[in-house]
Each structure stands twice: as structure tokens, then as C-alpha cells.
A and B are shown apart, each in its own frame.
Chain A
């Protein structure tokens, strides 16, 4: 019998694992992906020599139908006890091959993937070394599989109620799609109204239909839907549990107005003496009172009191709103309330913010009143905005004769802004130029740009229209400085196509500000337990093949919280998330991977480090009693229904009492020693 390298010094009952083992090794070329760097035929020959390996073969594409069939046939013909597929990352095809093994009568957890693509062929150049490394990786998995155990899936019930976090267009769309399929939805929005950024927009590209006209009916539909429970001015503050069984805590922030009795008559808003507060909805271009609705079409159309600016809260005197309210709906004693929800799946649609332009000192944002950002221009152009849709300068209320638009003010600028393209700015700047041309006849718009990125249905036609029909003048180049001179904003830039510096005297400058993640996005991601990238955008499970799932099972993403997106993309992703959730809700029970931790109660020291370390609250304290009922010792006990198999407790446990099914210490040790 060939000598197993593992067993020079290991006791005989481990040896048994190897003598009994009949492992099949299937080496995939993945076309050229692996085959070009790793000599798969040689690898198959090497693995065939390894103790315990009954068959080792290579093939062009094992994930294909004939490939999978050959694996199944090999299992049946050789009575294999375990399978190693040396191929791409287990995130790609582990499920595929485990299913194939199950179809051939093998327990699916007796199949393991050796990743020789992402971790070998893609990252190495030297074919000889790469082949050696592939052999190491594969051998290590063979050693692991020899110690794998048959595992049975765990069934858990599914709570058929979805939570949608964020009431912008993406959140509303997801909520409506789920609710229209007959499932319950809780829609949580932290602002006092639904609508998000889309409600602030004037017209939308590429069709120039009015944003409010297409948005507000959706808002009303969501609010009135019998299957949707709407919680506005509310924040998700805690998420526990797991797919199908989340426990969510929501903070209902005190509105100081009883929404049950309030009819939204607006008397309090009209009579509030404190009317000079900068309006968030109008991006600082308009004013609002201390008791207010963000805009006239707010849903719900019930006001809230801005505690920080309310005269009563500041001085203890005023209460004008209390006096004028005929329904006694104002309640200054109102407190934040917390509600607990049982949820099966979550859509995160928390949206974006615009970057703070003050990082560009040279552009003078914040210094000169007539330098505004794109979102502020939307408010100027909006019929419901502070100027009723007239393009007027914030400084003196005059109509600007020349506007300079500066694209990529923040985007594609690693030095001061963000490295990525914000995706929507080329389109909305073209739209701004068109709206300006339509509203101010003879107005001259100059647009500094780096590239015009107009990929999308009707998008390039749209930018061409701005140039050809509405005479927007595009200058390819960057702006170096903006300053004021004789009442004009002087914009110095370069026209790289002419190769000349230019100075334009403008009446208004609009910065196409970068789209960035919400300022609290990273904290929020930690609260709900999903991943995020360096910019604070939430990570999808797989950029191409699982773009709407987060890496946490049961939590899905929609809209610009994942990456900059326009309205069509946000809506499409929201519907995709909804369809994923409806698929989840189509089952009574959910099968969960049996990869859960177990505790050795004999050796457990009861230090409770694992109880604290467990991110899923899956570990309880358990009393061990003697016959008389006296507590002899207390140990940790893992609830397999809650355990997500992350292994945090295992790595924490000092006495090595915890172990993880599918990744047992024995398996990991064999894997390491097999290298």
C-alpha cells in the first residue's frame, strides 16, 4: 500500500479514513482559464498516485452537462466515497457539483472544490510552478474530503414578511412588487416622507417627463396598499437572526404630531412663526417653518416638528401650533418608540448623497451664492421648487444669461473626489442644459466635460439633442478656477480639443457633483450585517451573477446604495430583488446548510467568550445538572437554527471545545498538512 504523507506519525484510526477512502478527483480546464497555465493532464496523473484517490481525470468543462454526467458516472462506477472538483472558486460552482453528487447518491457534503482558478491559474505566470501549486491545493482538499462526514440539511420556517429599508424609488418599487404578489411588506423610511431623491428632481432623462408626476402616484400607491405597512420618520436600529427569520428593531422617531388624528390641513404650518429655516428638500435654496412637511405632496402628508429649530423646544414658549390645531394633534411630550418586527427577507434601498463640493476650494462652492450643485439646479428647475420652476440666480433672483456646467466635479478624481464615475452626471447635465434652453430663451450653456458617457436606451440621442437642438456648447477639458469679477463668475478652464485655455464669464455655475454613499452607510452596514466597499457602497454577493443579493443570505440590495445608478437601473434592480424575495417566500420551509457549530460540553470551560463573540446570538448558556437537580457546571450550547456557521466561536474558543460541521478541526488540520 502506498504510504500516505499524512500518516508518518498519526494513530491508526485516522489511517482508517484513508484506507476506506475512494476519492474521485475531477480537474477542470475551464477552457483556457485553468488549462493555459496548469497542466491538467499532468495534475490528473499526479493526483491519481495520491493515496486514497480512486480516479483522477481532467476535462474541458466539468460544469457543463456532459461534464457533470461524467462525474456522476464515475461516482456510481467506482463507488466513490468523496469527490474533489479542482476548478473555479466554490462560490461559483460548489452548489452545482454538490447537487450532481447528490443525484449520483453521494451525500452532497462529501464533495469539495479545490480552487485552482482564482487562487492559482489566474494569479500565476509560470506553468510549472502553477501546476505544482494546483497539485498542492488539490491534495489538500483530498485530505480534507477523506475526513468529511455526511451532513443533512437543516429545515427552518420562513416568515413571509419583507422589510424594505428606504422609501425612494427603489424601495417603493420593491415594496409594490412584493405586495402586489400578495406578500406582506414593511416599508421603513427615515425621512418624514416617502420619495427620496427622485421626488426632488425636476424632469427625468431621457424622456423629460416630470419626476413628481411619475413619482407621487407610486408614493400614494405604496402608502395605500393593504399589504404594505408604511413607517416613515423611522430607522432600522438592529437586525438579528438569519434568512427567513430576522428580528428587526425599528425606532419610530418622535414627530410631535399625532398622525392618527392629524388631517394634514396645514394650519400649523401656515401659522408657525419660525419660518426662516433652510429647507433640506430644497437643498438650502428655500425656507420652511419649524413644523413642516418636506414638500406639498409628501406621503404621509402629515407635518413633523423640527425639534432643533422649534421655538417651544428652545425657549419653552410659543405653542402657536397647539393653539391653531383644532384636533389637538400636537404633542410635545411624544417620545421615540421602538417596535419589533419579525421579517423573512430584507431589501436595502437606502440610496445615496451628493458629495460635499467644498473640497473644491478653487470652484468657489459655498463662497459664491451662484455656484450650485446639480441637485440644487433640479430644485430651481422644478415647478414645486423655491422659484416655481424659473431658473433664477440665488444671489439676486435674476435670470442667468450664461451658465457654465462643470462635469465630474468629484467623480473620476482620485486626488480630491472619488475614483469612480457617478454615471448619471453626463445625462443630467445634458438635461439641465436643455431645461435651461427651454426656460430661458437665448440662454447660453457651456459644459466642461471629460467624456460624454451616454450609454443606455435613448441616452446618446438625448445628449445629441442637447447639443444640436438646444445648442449646448460642450468644451472638452477641466476647469482650474472660478472667481468673481464685476458681478460675473469667471470660469477659467481649458478646451483640449482646441488646445487653448478659455475664460468664460458666467452668471451661474452648476457643478455635476459626485454621487456618494450615505454618510452613515458603513455603520448601517455593520448594524444589519452586510458588506461594503471602500466608498461605503454595499457589496453584492457576485458582481455579475448575483448582483442584487448581499453577501448575507436573505438581505438584498436595490438602487444607489450599491453603486451610482439612474432611475431605470434602480427600478430594475428593485424588481429583481422583489423577485428573489418572492422566490424565497414561495416555500413553506427553507433548507439551510448544515454547517453549524457544536460544543464539547465535557471540555467547555464556560467562559462565555463564544456567547459574546457570536454575531448571530446563536449560543446560549446551558446548565449541566446532577441527579438531584443541582447545577454542576454551566457550558455553552449552540442553537443550530440560529448558527450561520461563520466559525467565529471556533476560532475564539481557548479550550478548543467548539467545532464546526463541514470545517472540523480534523478536516482543517488535514487540509493544512496536505499542503
Chain B
């Protein structure tokens, strides 16, 4: 039985047993290589489920939809390891109770996907730990390496050029599982820290604010990158920041449900390269 059929069976099981009230998965999209989210509420609807290598979106953001988990019932969700890390972060930031999340884990490359054993976020601790272990030696994005070789001036100009295309649609924010605030800082206008119009300064402000808000929280799922209608390589900024917090504080986002947010916690042995 293919992994897709296995998981269809499992979805039907957990829905009919009442273990979960809903399963969030993938269904066929507008083109052959696109998938769109599927919200399965009855065992019959499981037939629409698609699970293959084109299922790349991180669905965890749907869990923090206002009121979804407030009835204390469980929800099943298809997640790759990066999505499971998002669950850990959302749990650590008190946005959800991980006991309510039944994970249907999978992983794979461009060709095929395989199932991951486990049900609750904590069952995947070993898998995430091994990803962290391999993080420093993992093949790096060639574009990121190229940017790092630039002089500060060249780099600034590169990003200015990229951000100049930004139309302030905030699709990156909407797609990001970490952007769960009820009111985003850009929507606060007393005072208006981030300029709303899409000119150079406002674009720079917005993207820098987002990079900082994601430092130590981004799992690199790429949702923002794919959502961007003008193809700004947003993932590179977040990957860079993730590397910085890993190097400076040995912090790898989403290791566990109790991991302290790196920018909110203080340890005596934190490196202080800029404060005496």
C-alpha cells in the first residue's frame, strides 16, 4: 500500500473513532505540481487526500486559527519535520496545547515521501535533534553564500533592490505559522513605526522587523518565500538569522515544547560580544 493510501486509512480511523475532530492535509491543486490545504471533517472526505512530494507547505499555521482548538478537542495534521518544529514553538509560546495535535508525520525529497513514526510532537524529538546535529554541515544555499561574500555595501544594495519590489501585501505574514499576533506591529498606527506605503524605507522597515521577529523562531519551511508574489528570497534572510542564533546561542528553533524563546531568555554564559 502506498503511503498515501496508508494515511487515508489512518485519517478515516482517527476521524471515525472520534480521536480527532478534523484532519488538516493536502489535496490536488490548480496544476499538477501544486497542492492546496484540505480540511477533512468526515471519514468520507479523506478520499480527496493527496500525499506526495509536492506537499511542501507547512500547515501548522492553520492550528492557531482563532477558536479552532478552544473546545479542547484534537486535530490531526500532516506535517514534515519543519512543521513539527513549528508545533513545538507554538506550544512553547503558549499558542496551542500540543496534546491536542495529532501529527501525521512524513518526510522526503523531490521524488518520494516516507512516513515518520510518532503521533505527538514529543515523539519526534530524536528526529529534530538529529536535524540540529547536521545543521552546521548541511549543504548551504548557494545564493546565501554568494550574498555573504558581498561587502556590506553590496549586500545592502542587493537587499534594497530585492525589497524595492515589495508591494506590502503581507502575504509572507499571512503564510507564516509564526505570525499569529492578533494585531501585527505594522497595523499599529499610534505611532506608525513601520510605514505602510511600499516605498524604499517602509519596505526595508517591514522586512527587517519581520527578520527580527523570526530570529530564533523560523524553521525554514519556506511558506513566506513561496507566498511572495514578487519573488523576494525571504527564506535567505531567515536562514541567515537562524544560523546566527545557532552560532551565538546554540539555539535551534523548535527542539521541544518547552524550549525558551532565544531572544526572551537570558543565560549567564550567553556570549556578549557587544556589551561589556
Whether the Cβ atoms of B93 and A609 lie closer than 8 Å is yes
Tell me the minimal C-beta distance from A659 to chain B in angstroms: 10
Whether the Cβ atoms of B264 and A655 lie closer than 8 Å is no
Tell me the minimal C-beta distance from A410 to chain B in angstroms: 22
B185 at the interface (CB under 8 A from A): yes
Tell me the minimal C-beta distance from A631 to chain B in angstroms: 9
Per the bound structure, the CA–CA distance linking A534 and B184 in Å amounts to: 40
Per the bound structure, the CA–CA distance linking A604 and B95 in Å amounts to: 12
Per-residue B-contact encoding for A590-621, CB less than 8 Å = 1, 0 else: 00000000000011111111101101000000
Tell me the minimal C-beta distance from A198 to chain B in angstroms: 30
B140 at the interface (CB under 8 A from A): no
Per the bound structure, the CA–CA distance linking A652 and B192 in Å amounts to: 17
Tell me the minimal C-beta distance from B89 to chain A in angstroms: 10
Whether the Cβ atoms of B264 and A523 lie closer than 8 Å is no
Per the bound structure, the CA–CA distance linking A397 and B33 in Å amounts to: 90
Per-residue A-contact encoding for B75-111, CB less than 8 Å = 1, 0 else: 0000000000000000001110000000000000000
Per the bound structure, the CA–CA distance linking A425 and B217 in Å amounts to: 54
Name the one of B94, B183, B192 contacting A608, with C-beta atoms under 8 angstroms: B94
Per the bound structure, the CA–CA distance linking A526 and B182 in Å amounts to: 35
Known: A612-B264, A613-B264, A665-B193. A655 touches B184 (CB 8 A): yes
B126 at the interface (CB under 8 A from A): no
B260 at the interface (CB under 8 A from A): yes
Name the one of A605, A608, A613, A666 contacting B182, with C-beta atoms under 8 angstroms: A605
Which residues does chain B contribute within 8 Å of A338, judged by CB atoms? none
Whether the Cβ atoms of A607 and B95 lie closer than 8 Å is yes
| Complex interface residues of chain A between 290 and 307 (CB less than 8 A to chain B) | none
Name the one of B184, B190, B263, B276 contacting A609, with C-beta atoms under 8 angstroms: B263
Which residues does chain B contribute within 8 Å of A533, judged by CB atoms? 276
Which residues does chain A contribute within 8 Å of B263, judged by CB atoms? 609, 613, 652
Whether the Cβ atoms of B193 and A654 lie closer than 8 Å is no
Which residues does chain A contribute within 8 Å of B180, judged by CB atoms? 605
Known: A523-B268, A607-B93. A612 touches B261 (CB 8 A): yes
Whether the Cβ atoms of A652 and B264 lie closer than 8 Å is yes
Per the bound structure, the CA–CA distance linking A605 and B192 in Å amounts to: 19
Per the bound structure, the CA–CA distance linking A615 and B183 in Å amounts to: 26
| Complex interface residues of chain A between 98 and 157 (CB less than 8 A to chain B) | none
Which residues does chain B contribute within 8 Å of A669, judged by CB atoms? 191-193
Known: A534-B276, A613-B264, A665-B193. A654 touches B94 (CB 8 A): no
B265 at the interface (CB under 8 A from A): yes
Whether the Cβ atoms of B185 and A655 lie closer than 8 Å is yes
A656 at the interface (CB under 8 A from B): yes
* Sample of 18 more A-B contacts, CB < 8 Å, known A609-B263, A652-B263: A602-B182, A602-B183, A603-B181, A605-B182, A606-B95, A607-B93, A608-B94, A612-B261, A615-B266, A654-B185, A655-B181, A655-B184, A656-B185, A657-B183, A665-B190, A666-B190, A669-B191, A670-B191
What are some 24 contacts across the A-B interface (CB < 8 A)?
A602-B183, A603-B181, A603-B183, A604-B182, A605-B95, A606-B95, A609-B261, A612-B261, A612-B264, A613-B263, A613-B265, A615-B266, A652-B264, A654-B181, A654-B185, A654-B213, A655-B181, A655-B182, A656-B185, A656-B188, A665-B190, A665-B193, A669-B191, A670-B191
